Amino acid sequence: MNKGTFITFEGPEGAGKTTVIAEIYKRLESVGEAVLLTREPGGIRISEKIRAIILDNEHQEMDGRTEALLYAAARRQHLVEKVMPAIEAGKIVLCDRFVDSSLAYQGYARGLGMDEVMAINAFAIEDTMPDLTIFFAIHPEEGLKRIERNDDREQNRLDNETLQFHRDVYAGYEEVQRRFPDRIVQIDASAPLSEVTENVWKIISSQLISSGNS
Ligand SMILES: Nc1ncnc2c1ncn2[C@@H]1O[C@H](COP(=O)(O)OP(=O)(O)OP(=O)(O)O)[C@@H](O)[C@H]1O
Ligand SMILES: Cc1cn([C@H]2C[C@H](O)[C@@H](COP(=O)(O)O)O2)c(=O)[nH]c1=O
């Protein structure tokens, strides 16, 4: 059996990833594709527990390296328990965040260093990297406004970081893109939702055609 396709979605808070992925998932299913939709940190029991620890507003004392290691631990378990089996089974895996989040948030914005954060993640992911990553580019101010307006969303410890931290996350993503230009495609996430969805759909459709997974 052919291996599946691993697609990840990245960007700052409130960029629209979760909303758009849900629509892409529906479209892929409706054309008969075998698809797995999942997220990081989380996606499975152990990793959801780690997520709760990381994002708890009461855990203000969490050290930056502890944070980076917890994300990597959650990633490892999620990868071996859920993502890898789906890829091996030939599915299209749509994952809301992956290692690029650690590079931008912990490596760059926390100042731990991208190479250092990549090194601990290399232990967690071995050589599994996405086939395609879509970067939802939006100014952090705009993304944060969107999540403040959304009454259903509780603001977590990372959301509540300073505006400067979120600006650094954005700069971190720009650096990640410079490092992986062949894998990462940027879209304008400040456009109307329908436009963003169509752009993402076009990118994913052409990736699936070129990889023969369609
Ligand atoms: N293109 C858009 N224009 C306006 N509002 C949008 C757009 N895309 C998403 N939204 C709204 O912005 C809010 C955040 O969207 P969403 O939860 O999908 O973002 P996200 O990238 O998953 O955020 P986070 O990573 O912080 O969880 C939601 O209320 C959603 O309805
Ligand atoms: C995977 C990953 C995530 N983060 C941050 C990014 C967000 O602030 C939260 C996750 O919340 P979301 O609503 O699911 O987007 O965690 C991070 O800092 N490092 C990571 O590796």
What separation, in Å, do the N-terminal and C-terminal C-alpha atoms of the chain show? 14
Instruction: State which of 9, 13, 18, 25 you would mutate to test the pocket of ligand 1, scoring each by most atoms of that ligand within 8 A of its C-beta.
Output: 18
Q: Residues within the annotated binding site?
A: 11-18
Which residues surround ligand 2 with Cβ inside 6 Å?
Answer: 13, 39-41, 71, 97, 101-102, 105-106, 158
140 vs 132: CA distance, rounded Å: 23
What is the Å distance from ligand 1's center to 16 Cα?
Answer: 3
Contact status, residue 169 vs residue 137, Cβ threshold 8 Å: no
Strands (DSSP E) contained in the chain are: 5-10, 35-39, 92-96, 132-137, 184-188
CA distances from 150 to 81, 128, 154 (A): 32, 34, 9
Q: Which ligand is nearest to the CA of 144?
A: 1
Q: Whose CA is nearest to atom 12 of ligand 1?
A: 146
In the chain, the amino acid numbered 195 is: E
| pLDDT tens per residue across span 114-152 | 999 999 999 999 999 999 999 999 999 999 999 999 888
Residue for token digits 């030939």? 90
**What is the pTM assigned to this prediction?**
0.97
- Centre of ligand 1 from the C-alpha of residue 60, in Å: 25
Which amino acid, one-letter code, is at 10? Answer: E
In this structure, what CATH number is given to the domain that contains residue 35?
Answer: 3.40.50.300
**What is the C-alpha separation between 63 and 143, in angstroms, rounded?**
26
Residue 3: what are its φ and ψ, rounded to 5°? -70, 155
CA 164 to centroid of ligand 1, rounded, Å: 20
Instruction: Please state the atom number of ligand 2 nearest to the C-alpha of residue 71.
Output: 21
Q: What ipTM was estimated for this complex?
A: 0.98
Handedness of CA 117, 125, 134, 45 (dihedral sign): negative
3-class SS of residue 194: helix
Give the residue ranges of the annotated binding site for ATP.
11-18
CB atoms within 10 A of CB 113: 14
Could you list the pLDDT tens digit for every one of the 214 residues in the chain? 679 999 999 999 999 999 999 999 999 999 999 999 999 999 999 999 999 999 999 999 999 999 999 999 999 999 999 999 999 999 999 999 999 999 999 999 999 999 999 999 999 999 999 999 999 999 999 999 999 998 888 899 999 999 999 999 999 999 999 999 999 999 999 999 999 999 999 999 998 877 777 6
Domain count, the chain: 1
Range of the domain at 174: 5-211
Q: Which residues contact 211 (CB under 8 A, 6 or more apart)?
A: 5, 131
Atom of ligand 2 nearest to the CA of 39: 14
User: Longest Cα pair distance anywhere in the chain, in angstroms?
Assistant: 48
**162-176 per-position pLDDT tens digit:** 999 999 999 999 999
40 alpha carbon, closest ligand? 2
